[in-house]
Structure formats: C-alpha cells, structure tokens
Amino acid sequence: MKAVLLAFVFTLLWIALQAVLFNLFEARHRSKWMLYSFVPTLPLLAWVYRVSPKQLGCLPAAWSQTANPVGIFTATVLYIVLALTWYQVYFYIDRPITFRMFIEIFKAPGQRLTRSQLDQVYSLEFMVQKRFDDMIRNGLVQCTDGLCQLTPKGQSLASVFNFSKVLFGVKS
C-alpha cells in the first residue's frame, strides 16, 4: 500500500513540476520535457521508498509489510503507468478539436457562433497545416515547395500506425 501512496504522491509532484517548468521556459517539445523531468525521479522514488517509514505515518501495520525490493518494483510500475496516464490526459486537454471548438464558442460575443463563423476562427486549412507543422517540427515529415515526404522516423511511426490499423481491423 505504501507503494500506491508513494506512486500517487510522486505523480502529483511530477505534474506540479511540469506546470512550473512550462511557465518558466519556452518548452516547445513538451514530450521531451516531460520525459527528461520524469527519468531522474525514478531513482528518487526508490530511494524515498527505502528510507521512509514502513507505514508512512498513516497506514495500518498490516498494510505495510511488503519486502523492500517488491515494494519498490510495485511503486515504480504504478508510477510509470500513472505518469503515462497523465501524459495522455495532458494531450486530451491540449489537442482535441472538440475543446478548440468549445473554447472558440466560449470566447465569442454572446457565446454563440454560426457554422461559417466557426469556419473563420478555426478553419480546415489551419487544422491541417497545424498538423503538418507539428509533424515537420517532430522530424516526421519534410516538405519542399509544398510537397511533403516522410522522413525515416516518419516511415517507422507510419508503419507502427499501419500495423495498429491492421491489428484493430480498421480500413486505412
């Protein structure tokens, strides 16, 4: 149980650290910032698990008697899975088209937007161009004179996505 509590606490601290870092620095590659701020916390978690009291001052005695190596392993697995969950949640908030539409309506005078007004503030051209810009910035695609090709990195990722589509039985 100590493993569960420590994994939660470390995840919350890591999320708070991101809020601080993203406000202090111009972090363009957010995924890399998340990864680089996460990795050093793994040995820290193991160390804290080892040196902290067995019951963390709040757990019942019967809930805190797991051997240290197993406890550290459990805490690490849960911490990694919780961090990956936050990573996904972060992009749920950052990326979705739906939230962008909601925010544009929310900011509009009288909080109303017709379809054509929505097209003006959030056009299809912007939507597609933004994705190409992101893919270029992440080294997945390179464009010359308006024509785009996959880079080797983009090829690999496209193969993974293609395999996923085959696996899920989705027509691509």
Partner 1 sequence: MSGLLAGTGSFGLFGLACLASLRLYCGQNYYKIFAWVYVAFIPVLLALQFYLWKTGSAFWPAVWQEPARMADLLIAFMLYTLLVHGFWNFAHGAALTGFSAGILVAMRKRHPQPLSVAEALDWYGVQQGENRAVLKRLEQLTRKGYLINTPEGFGLTPLSRHLTQSVYFLKKIFKMGVGG
CB of 40 vs partner 1, minimal distance in Å: 20
Q: In the stretch 41-60, what mask flags binding to partner 1 with x, by CB under 8 A?
A: -------------------x
d(CA 148, CA 144): 6
Contact between 19 and partner 1 (CB under 8 A)? yes
Residue pair 120/132 in contact (Cβ under 8 Å)? The answer is no
Minimum distance of partner 1 from residue 47's CB (angstroms): 21
CA distance 5 to 145: 54
Sequence-ordered list of residues with C-beta below 8 angstroms from that of 168, at least 6 positions apart, any chain:
none
- Quote the least distance from Cβ 27 to partner 1, whole Å: 8
Amino acid of residue 10: F
Exactly one of 10, 18, 46, 49 binds partner 1 (CB under 8 A); which one?
Answer: 18
Looking at residues 100 to 119 of the shown chain, list those that interact with partner 1 (rule: CB under 8 A). Answer: 100-103, 105-106, 108, 110-115, 117-119
**Per CB under 8 A, 131 contacts partner 1:** yes
Using CB under 8 A as the binding rule, whether residue 125 contacts partner 1 is answered as yes
Q: Which of residues 62-101 bind partner 1 (CB under 8 A)?
A: 62-63, 65-67, 70, 73-74, 77-78, 81-82, 84-85, 88, 90, 93-101
Q: Alpha-carbon distance 153 to 150, whole Å?
A: 8
Indicate which single residue of 123, 137, 139, 152 sits in contact with partner 1 (rule: CB under 8 A).
123
Decide: is 120 part of the binding site for partner 1 (CB under 8 A).
no
Please answer whether residues 128 and 97 qualify as being in contact, where contact means their C-beta atoms are separated by less than 8 angstroms: no
- Binding track, positions 152-171, relative to partner 1; x by CB under 8 A: --xx-xxxxxx-xx-xxxx-
- Cβ(151)–Cβ(142) under 8 Å? yes
d(CA 153, CA 68): 40
Please tell me the distance from the alpha carbon of residue 124 to that of residue 128, in angstroms, as a whole number.
6
**Token code pair at residue 129:** 């161009």
- Among 1, 9, 17, 42, the residue binding partner 1 under the rule CB under 8 A is 1
